[in-house]
C-alpha cells in the first residue's frame, strides 16, 4: 500500500495541509469509511489494512473481570426490609419475619399469604379411614380391636408411614406382643380389604396396581429378618470358615475350568478344530475373577486357530447346510436373505463362529513345493486362486473344490512324470538298442493302450499325455489304485464343481 | 421501623442456604458444661457461657442484698427469687463461677443431662441472650434443645419459661440426637454423644429418634472420677498431686519436673472458700488435665506399647509438673474396657452401641452402623475416633464413623444442628406459636415436638 501524503505529513509531524493533493483525496475518504479499530496505531492499520479483524481483536485492550457494583458506584444499595409473612402450611396466625428485597413487591404483603415458597413442601400422604360399620363388616381380626386399629391408623398418619418410628412410638397393651411386621400386616391388610370392598371409581388395572402396592407378606418378611439376624450373628470362626470355603470353591472352579480347556485343546489337536467338547459351556469366569494370566492364554489361542489350516473348517461350515435351522427360522431367514452357517446350537464354542467377511473364508494355498504349479495352472485357466469377484458361499465352495482338484491334478502329474521317467529308464535298460532315439525326445509316448479306470467315464486325453483330464466321478481315495494302474487320467473333481471342471476341460481341450 | 441491611453472602453452606429462609430465630442449647446460644443460620454460637453458676445464698435473717459492684461488673447480678429459693446474688458467665468470691457457692442446674433446677435457667438464658447477644427474645422465635431422655414435664416447663417469662413469639424444642445427625448432614444416623456428664447412643431414623434404642450412662463422670483418683493418689514415680486452683495460690517458684512444688496458698481466701466452690475448682483442674493429656490408644491396651509412648508434660497450678505416659491412655481406656472387678463402672461405649442396636430392627442395623456420628466435647479424646472405628469394625464390617475434625463442630454439634433446622424454610410450619400455646396449653409441646 502506498503511503499517502497525509501519512508522510503525520510521520514527519507536519501540519495538515488544507488543500490536499489530488490523489490523496479519495484515499482519505476510504480510510474514514472503514474506521480504524481500537487499540491499533494508525500506521500499523494502514499497513495491514482492514482485513485483519483477528489481529485487531488481539491487540485490543484486555478485558478484566467486571467490577462489582457497590452502592458507591452511583446507584443506591438494594434495600432489604424485615417483612412479616404468613406460612399457609400453618393453621394459626403466626407472623414470622424474614428479610426481603424492598424493591421486589413493596405492597405484596397480603399477596404473600398464599405463596410462601416453602408451603408447597407441606404434603401429606394419602391415608385410609374406615367407619364403624365397615370395621364390623370386613375388618374384624382376633388380636385387634377397633381402638387398636384406630390407634395404628392414627400413628400411621402422624408419622407419615415411617414404620420404624411408628413401631418405636406405638404403645400397645403389653399382652399383644406386636412387632413391626404385625403392625405392617394389619395396616396393609385393612387397606386391602377396604379397597376391595369399596366401589372403585377408576379402572380395574389401577385398582390391581394399588392392591399390589399394598401387598405385604408377613411370614416372608419375618423369615427375611431371621436370615438377616443369622447373618449378623455369625461368630468369627464361622466367618473364617465361610471365607475358607469360598476360597476353596473358587480354587476348585478354576481347576475344573483349566482341566476342561486342556481337554478341549487335546481333542482339537487329535480330532481337528471342529471337535470341541460339546458340553464346554461358554463361561468367561468373570464373576469369580479368573486370573488375567488365564485370559491371556485364552486370547492367545485365537490367532493360533486362525493360523491353522482353514480349509476343513471352511468346508465344514459351508458343507453343513441350513438343514439344522428350525423351520420357522428357515422361513424367516429366507425372507430376509439370512444365511446361517453354524449348526445353531450356540452353546459350544466350536459351533459358534463370530461374524466374518465372506472374503475371509476364501481358502488360501498351502505354502509347499507345488504351490507354484497350482498358481501356474490357475493362471492358465485365467483365474486367481486367492481372489473372487463375488465371494458368495457357492463361489467359495467351488473355488475350494477347484483348488483341491488342481492340487490333486498337479500331484498326480508329478507322480506320473516320475513313473514315466522310471518306465523310460527301465525300458532303456531292457531295450538298449532303441534307447537312443527315445532318449532324444525326452518324453516318451506310451505305447500301451490306456487303461480306463474301473469307475469309467469318457476319456478326454486324445494324446494320452499327462495333461489329459478325466472328468470322472472318481473319488480322491482312488488315487492309489490309479497310480498303481499307471493311469494317466486325473479324476478328482467333485460333483459340486462340475461346471468348473467342464470349464477346465474346455480349456484343456483348446490348449490341446 | 425500617431496617436496611447489606446482605453478605454466606458461602459456608451454599447447599443449605438454598432451602433456608432466615426468620432471625435463636437457638439455645443447654448442656452440662456450657449453654450455647446464637442465631439460626450461623455456624458458631454467638454466646457460650458455663452452665455452672456462682451464687451467694441469702442469709436466713436478712434478705437485703449487699451489692459488691466491683466483682459483678461482668456477670449478671440480680436479685433472684424465682421458685422460692433466694439467692442474694447470682454470678453467671465466663467470670461467674471461675472468679473467687468470699462465700460463693457453686451450682449446676443439670443432673444427668436433665434440668433438675429451673430456677437458674431463666437467668442463664437471659444472660446469654440479653447481656451477651444483646437481643430482645420477644422479637425472635426460639429453638431449645433437649436430650433424648428428657421428661415431658421438663420440656413443658421449658416452653412455659420461654413463653411466659421471655415472651417469645414462637418456640420449638428439638432433640440433640436428631440435631447432631442434622449437623453431620444425615437424616438417619447412630449418634454417639459424649458430653461432660453423660454418654449416649441414640439411633435416629428419618429425623426421628428411636426411643427404644436409646442407651446412655454417666460414663464421662466415671472417667472424671478415675482421673481424679489417679492424680490425687501417689504412684511409684510421683507423690499425690494437690489440686490447688489458681485462685487460691499466692506465690509459686518454678521447680524441675517431678520435684516437690514450692508455693504458698492465699490463706486469706481459704477460710471464706465454700466447699462447693473448692470442689468445682478442683474438678476443673482435673478436666483440664484430661483435655490436655488424656488419650485413647488406637488399637487397644498393650502394656509394652503404652510404656513406649511419648509421655506428655503437664504442669498444675501449684507449679508441680510431671510427665504422664501410660496414665494418659489408662484414662481413655475406660471408655472401651470393661473392668469386671469394678461393679460401679458404667457401660462402655461399645456396650452402649450394642445395646442400642439390639433394640433396633435388624434391617436398620446396617444403615445405622454405616452412619455413626461421633460428637460431644467428651469425644475429643485424642485417638478416640480411630479406636472406636477399630472396635466397631471387629463386629460390624461396614462401620463408617463421621467425626467432625473441627472441635467447634464436635462440641457444639447439637447447637449447629439446631441452627440448620431453625433456618430451613420448611421448618417454619413447626414452630409452636404463642397463640397456639395460649389456646392448647402444655399439650401442644408433646403434639408438635415428636
Residues of B in contact with A94 (CB under 8 A): 169-170, 431, 433-436
For residues A363 and A235, what is the distance between their CA atoms, to the nearest angstrom?
Answer: 65
With bands split at pLDDT 50, 70 and 90, how would you rate the model's confidence at A55?
low
Radius of gyration of chain A (CA): 49
Of A87-91, B6-10, B127-131, B304-308, least confident by mean pLDDT is B6-10
Substitution target from B8, B138, B177, B208 for chain A, most A beta carbons within 10 A: B208
The contacts of residue B112 (CB under 8 Å, 6+ apart) are: B197, B198, B218
With bands split at pLDDT 50, 70 and 90, how would you rate the model's confidence at A142?
confident
Radius of gyration of chain B (CA): 23
Nearest to B90 by CA among B143, B50, B138: B50
Q: Do A168 and B425 touch (CB under 8 A)?
A: no
Q: SS3 for B25?
A: coil
What are B226-235's contacts with CB under 8 Å, separation 24+? Answer: B226/B331, B226/B334, B227/B286, B227/B289, B227/B290, B227/B294, B227/B331, B228/B282, B228/B283, B228/B286, B230/B327, B230/B330, B230/B331, B231/B286, B231/B289
Domain positions in chain A: 80-121, 132-233, 246-273, 359-429
Shortest alpha-carbon distance between residue A209 and chain B (Å) = 26
The domains found in chain B, sorted by start residue, are: 15-58+84-179+414-448 (3.30.420.40), 221-334 (3.90.640.10)
The mean pLDDT value for A225-242 works out to 86
The mean pLDDT value for B99-119 works out to 91
Q: What is the pLDDT of residue A369?
A: 73
Number of alpha carbons in the 13 Å side-chain half-sphere of residue B368: 27
Residues of B in contact with A172 (CB under 8 A): none
Q: How would DSSP label each residue in A375-418?
A: HHHHHHHT--TT--SS--HHHHHHHHHHHHHHHHHHHHHHHHHH
Q: Please enumerate residues of A whose Cβ is less than 8 A from a Cβ of B.
A: 71, 77, 79-82, 87, 89-90, 92-94, 96-99, 117-119, 121-122, 158-159, 162, 164-165, 167-169, 180, 225, 228-229, 232
Highest mean pLDDT range out of A263-277, B74-88, B122-136? B122-136
With bands split at pLDDT 50, 70 and 90, how would you rate the model's confidence at B154?
very high
User: Residue A261 belongs to what H/E stretch?
Assistant: helix A236-271
Q: What is the mean pLDDT of chain B?
A: 86
Q: Please give the span between the terminal C-alpha atoms of chain B, in angstroms, as a whole number.
A: 37
Q: What is the pLDDT of residue A34?
A: 58
| CB-based contact, B428 to chain A, within 8 Å | yes
Of A256-270, A313-327, B83-97, B435-449, least confident by mean pLDDT is A313-327
pLDDT digits (tens, 9 = 90+) for B352-398: 999 999 999 888 988 999 999 999 999 999 889 999 999 898 888 88
Q: What is the pLDDT of residue A479?
A: 44
Instruction: Give pTM, 2 decimals.
Output: 0.64
Nearest to B337 by CA among B377, B376, B303: B303
The mean pLDDT value for A345-373 works out to 66
Q: Helices in A24-88 by DSSP H: which ranges?
A: 24-33, 42-48, 53-59
Q: Do A118 and B428 touch (CB under 8 A)?
A: yes
With bands split at pLDDT 50, 70 and 90, how would you rate the model's confidence at A328?
low
| CB-based contact, B300 to chain A, within 8 Å | no
Percent of chain A with pLDDT over 90: 8
Q: Do A92 and B428 touch (CB under 8 A)?
A: no
The mean pLDDT value for B29-56 works out to 93
Q: What is the pLDDT of residue A338?
A: 66
Record the cell numbers describing residue A13, joined without a space.
509531524
Nearest to A469 by CA among A408, A415, A422, A424: A408
Q: What is the pLDDT of residue A59?
A: 64
Q: Are B19 and B423 in contact (CB under 8 A)?
A: no
Beta-bridge partners for A145: none
With bands split at pLDDT 50, 70 and 90, how would you rate the model's confidence at A489?
very low
With bands split at pLDDT 50, 70 and 90, how would you rate the model's confidence at A103?
low
Q: A132-233 belongs to which CATH class? A: mainly alpha
Percent of chain B with pLDDT over 70: 90
Shortest alpha-carbon distance between residue A165 and chain B (Å) = 6
Q: Are A470 and A460 in contact (CB under 8 A)?
A: yes
pLDDT at A240 over 60: yes
Which residue from A minimizes the CA distance to B364?
A: A164
Query: pLDDT higher for B450 or B177?
Result: B177
Number of alpha carbons in the 13 Å side-chain half-sphere of residue B89: 22
* CA torsion, ordered B118, B121, B123, B126, to nearest 10 deg: -140
Q: For B433, which of A92, A180, A228 is closest by C-beta distance?
A: A92
Q: Do A99 and B435 touch (CB under 8 A)?
A: no
The mean pLDDT value for A184-197 works out to 88
| CB-based contact, B361 to chain A, within 8 Å | yes
Q: Do A167 and B205 touch (CB under 8 A)?
A: no
Residues of A in contact with B6 (CB under 8 A): 71, 77
Cell 400397645 belongs to residue: A172
Query: pLDDT higher for B58 or B206?
Result: B206
With bands split at pLDDT 50, 70 and 90, how would you rate the model's confidence at A207?
confident
Q: Are B24 and B41 in contact (CB under 8 A)?
A: no
Q: Are A374 and A403 in contact (CB under 8 A)?
A: yes
Record the cell numbers describing residue A52, joined without a space.
485483519
Q: Do B450 and A180 touch (CB under 8 A)?
A: no
> What ipTM was reported for this prediction?
0.82
pLDDT at B87 over 60: yes
Q: Interior CA angle at A109 toward A105 and A113, to 5°?
A: 120
Q: Do A165 and B5 touch (CB under 8 A)?
A: no
Record the cell numbers describing residue A207, joined without a space.
385398582
For residues A361 and A393, what is the distance between their CA atoms, to the nearest angstrom?
Answer: 9
Cα–Cα distances (Å) from A194 to A126, A132, A203, A213, A219, in that order, read 14, 12, 16, 14, 22
The contacts of residue B354 (CB under 8 Å, 6+ apart) are: B395
Which residue from B minimizes the CA distance to A120?
A: B426
pLDDT at A296 over 60: no
Amino acid at each position: 500500500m502506498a503511503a499517502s501524503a497525509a501519512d508522510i505529513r503525520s510521520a514527519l509531524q507536519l501540519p495538515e495541509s488544507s488543500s490536499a493533493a489530488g490523489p490523496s483525496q479519495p484515499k482519505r475518504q476510504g480510510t474514514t469509511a472503514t474506521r480504524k479499530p481500537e487499540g491499533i496505531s494508525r500506521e500499523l492499520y494502514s499497513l495491514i489494512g482492514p482485513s485483519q479483524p483477528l489481529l485487531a481483536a488481539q491487540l485490543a485492550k484486555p478485558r478484566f473481570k467486571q467490577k462489582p457494583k457497590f452502592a458507591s458506584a452511583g446507584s443506591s444499595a438494594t434495600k432489604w426490609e424485615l417483612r412479616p409473612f404468613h406460612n399457609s402450611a400453618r393453621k394459626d396466625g403466626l407472623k414470622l419475619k424474614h428479610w426481603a428485597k424492598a424493591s421486589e413487591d413493596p405492597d405484596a404483603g397480603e399477596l404473600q399469604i398464599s405463596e410462601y415458597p416453602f408451603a408447597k413442601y407441606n404434603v401429606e400422604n394419602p391415608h385410609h379411614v374406615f367407619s364403624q360399620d365397615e370395621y364390623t363388616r370386613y375388618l374384624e381380626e382376633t388380636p385387634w380391636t377397633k381402638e387398636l386399629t384406630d390407634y395404628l391408623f392414627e400413628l400411621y398418619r402422624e408419622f407419615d408411614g415411617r414404620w420404624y418410628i411408628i413401631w418405636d412410638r406405638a404403645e400397645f397393651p403389653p399382652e399383644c406382643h406386636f412387632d413391626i411386621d404385625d403392625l405392617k400386616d394389619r395396616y396393609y391388610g385393612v387397606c386391602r380389604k377396604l379397597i376391595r370392598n369399596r366401589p372403585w371409581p377408576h379402572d380395574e388395572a389401577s385398582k390391581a396396581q394399588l392392591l399390589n402396592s399394598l401387598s405385604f407378606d408377613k411370614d416372608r418378611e419375618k423369615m427375611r429378618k431371621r436370615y438377616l439376624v443369622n447373618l449378623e450373628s455369625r461368630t468369627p470362626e464361622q466367618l473364617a470358615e465361610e471365607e475358607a470355603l469360598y476360597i476353596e470353591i473358587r480354587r476348585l472352579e478354576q481347576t475344573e475350568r483349566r482341566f476342561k480347556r486342556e481337554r478341549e485343546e487335546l481333542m482339537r489337536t487329535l480330532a481337528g478344530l471342529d471337535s470341541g467338547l460339546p458340553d464346554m459351556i461358554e463361561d468367561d469366569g468373570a464373576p469369580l475373577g479368573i486370573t488375567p494370566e488365564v485370559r491371556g492364554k485364552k486370547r492367545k489361542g485365537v490367532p493360533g486357530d486362525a493360523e491353522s489350516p482353514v480349509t476343513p473348517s471352511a468346508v465344514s461350515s459351508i458343507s453343513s447346510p441350513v438343514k439344522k435351522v428350525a423351520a420357522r427360522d428357515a422361513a424367516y431367514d429366507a425372507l430376509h436373505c439370512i444365511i446361517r452357517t453354524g449348526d445353531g446350537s450356540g452353546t459350544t464354542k466350536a459351533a459358534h463362529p463370530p461374524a466374518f467377511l465372506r472374503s475371509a473364508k476364501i481358502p488360501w494355498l498351502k505354502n509347499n513345493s507345488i504351490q507354484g504349479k497350482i498358481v501356474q495352472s490357475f493362471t492358465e485357466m485365467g483365474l486367481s486362486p486367492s481372489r473372487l469377484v463375488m465371494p458368495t458361499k457357492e463361489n467359495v465352495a467351488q473355488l475350494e473344490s477347484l483348488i483341491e482338484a488342481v492340487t490333486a491334478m498337479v500331484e498326480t502329474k508329478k507322480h506320473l512324470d516320475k513313473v514315466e521317467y522310471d518306465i523310460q529308464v527301465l525300458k532303456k535298460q531292457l531295450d538298449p538298442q532303441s534307447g537312443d532315439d527315445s532318449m532324444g525326445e525326452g518324453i516318451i509316448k506310451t505305447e500301451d493302450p490306456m487303461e480306463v479306470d474301473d469307475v469309467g467315464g469318457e476319456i478326454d486325453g486324445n494324446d494320452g499325455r499327462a495333461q489329459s483330464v478325466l472328468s470322472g466321478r472318481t473319488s480322491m481315495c482312488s488315487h492309489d489304485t490309479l497310480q498303481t494302474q499307471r493311469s494317466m487320467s486325473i479324476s478328482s473333481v467333485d460333483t459340486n464343481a462340475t461346471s468348473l471342471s467342464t470349464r477346465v476341460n474346455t480349456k484343456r481341450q483348446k490348449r490341446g | 421501623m425500617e431496617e436496611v441491611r447489606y446482605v453478605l453472602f454466606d458461602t459456608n453452606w451454599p447447599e443449605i442456604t438454598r432451602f433456608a429462609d432466615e426468620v432471625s430465630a435463636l437457638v439455645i442449647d443447654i448442656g452440662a458444661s456450657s449453654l450455647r446460644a446464637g442465631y439460626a443460620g450461623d455456624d458458631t454460637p454467638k454466646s457460650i457461657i458455663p452452665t455452672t453458676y456462682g451464687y451467694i445464698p441469702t442469709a436466713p435473717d436478712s434478705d437485703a442484698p449487699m451489692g459488691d459492684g466491683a466483682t459483678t461488673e461482668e456477670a449478671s447480678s440480680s436479685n433472684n427469687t424465682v421458685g422460692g429459693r433466694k439467692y442474694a446474688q447470682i454470678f453467671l458467665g465466663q467470670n461467674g463461677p471461675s472468679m473467687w468470691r468470699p462465700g460463693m457457692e457453686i451450682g449446676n442446674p443439670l443432673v444427668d443431662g436433665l434440668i433438675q433446677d429451673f430456677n437458674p435457667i431463666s437467668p442463664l438464658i437471659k444472660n446469654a441472650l440479653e447481656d451477651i447477644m444483646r437481643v430482645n427474645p420477644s422479637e425472635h422465635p426460639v429453638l431449645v434443645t433437649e436430650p433424648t431422655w428428657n421428661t415431658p414435664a421438663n420440656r413443658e416447663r421449658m416452653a412455659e419459661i420461654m413463653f411466659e417469662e421471655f415472651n417469645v413469639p414462637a418456640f420449638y424444642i428439638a432433640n440433640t440426637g436428631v440435631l447432631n445427625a442434622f449437623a453431620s448432614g444425615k437424616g438417619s444416623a447412630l449418634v454417639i454423644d459424649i458430653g461432660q456428664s453423660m454418654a449416649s447412643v441414640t439411633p435416629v431414623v428419618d429425623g426421628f429418634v428411636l426411643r427404644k434404642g436409646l442407651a446412655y450412662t454417666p460414663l464421662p463422670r466415671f472417667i472424671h472420677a478415675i482421673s481424679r483418683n489417679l492424680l490425687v493418689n501417689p504412684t511409684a514415680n510421683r507423690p499425690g498431686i494437690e489440686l490447688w486452683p489458681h485462685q487460691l495460690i499466692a506465690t509459686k517458684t518454678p521447680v524441675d519436673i517431678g520435684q516437690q512444688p514450692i508455693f504458698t496458698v492465699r490463706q486469706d481466701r481459704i477460710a471464706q472458700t465454700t466447699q462447693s466452690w473448692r470442689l468445682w475448682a478442683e474438678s476443673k483442674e482435673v478436666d483440664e488435665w484430661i483435655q490436655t493429656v488424656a488419650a485413647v490408644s488406637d488399637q487397644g491396651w498393650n502394656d509394652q506399647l503404652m510404656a513406649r509412648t511419648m509421655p506428655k508434660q503437664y504442669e498444675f497450678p501449684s507449679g508441680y509438673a510431671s510427665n504422664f505416659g501410660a496414665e494418659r491412655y489408662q484414662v481413655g481406656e475406660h471408655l472401651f474396657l470393661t473392668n469386671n472387678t469394678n461393679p460401679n463402672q458404667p457401660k462402655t461405649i461399645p456396650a452402649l452401641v450394642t445395646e442400642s442396636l439390639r433394640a433396633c430392627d435388624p434391617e436398620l442395623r446396617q444403615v445405622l452402623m454405616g452412619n455413626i456420628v461421633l460428637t460431644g466435647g467428651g469425644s475429643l479424646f485424642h485417638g478416640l475416633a480411630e479406636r472406636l472405628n477399630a472396635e466397631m469394625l471387629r463386629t460390624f464390617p461396614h462401620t463408617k464413623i463421621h467425626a467432625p475434625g473441627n472441635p467447634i463442630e464436635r462440641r457444639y454439634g447439637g447447637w449447629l444442628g439446631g441452627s440448620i433446622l431453625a433456618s430451613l424454610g420448611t421448618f417454619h410450619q413447626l414452630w409452636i406459636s404463642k397463640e397456639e400455646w395460649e389456646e392448647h396449653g402444655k399439650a401442644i409441646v408433646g403434639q408438635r415436638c415428636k
